[in-house]
Amino acid sequence: MSDLINKKCVPHEKMAALKQEEIKEYLSQLKDWEFLPARRSFSEGGETNLPMPKASEGQSKITKEYKFKDFKDAMEFVNKVSVVAEKEGHHPDIEIHYNKVNIILWTHFVKGLSENDFIIAAKIDNIL
């Protein structure tokens, strides 16, 4: 098991965006999390014309899909995630599709990934 679940998130003023090598190292400590590289919008000469939320344009992220028996179990998981996020002061984006929950993490302040994202990912995995 990773050391990450024993760490605490730090205030965003003390964070820095992670370098590619650091991201790879942190990802190796998590199970089944996927790295989503930064994308540019079509208007910026990017590869897609699909709409992207302004807050997340051009930011690297990590994501994971969790599957449950039914909607009730999925919502119970989401409620547990909210407790962890509030305690750590670092909040994921959450998408719910009946029995599937997608967690998306990135740090707005650094416009990419920080150690906090990986700490929260490890703590979310520890819920199950």
Label residue 56 by pLDDT band (50, 70, 90): low
Please state, for a pLDDT cut of 90, what percent of the chain lies above it: 77
Q: What is the 3-state secondary structure (H, E, C) of 1-61?
A: CCHHHHCCCCCHHHCCCCCHHHHHHHHCCCCCCEEECCCCEHHHCCCECCCCCHHHCCCCE
pLDDT of residue 85 exceeding 90, the answer is: yes
Q: Which of the residue ranges 6-15, 19-28, 63-72, 105-114 would you say has the lowest mean pLDDT?
A: 6-15
Q: Domains in the chain, please, with CATH?
A: 15-127 (3.30.1360.20)
pLDDT of residue 55 exceeding 50, the answer is: no
Q: Which of the residue ranges 12-21, 42-51, 94-103, 118-127 would you say has the lowest mean pLDDT?
A: 42-51
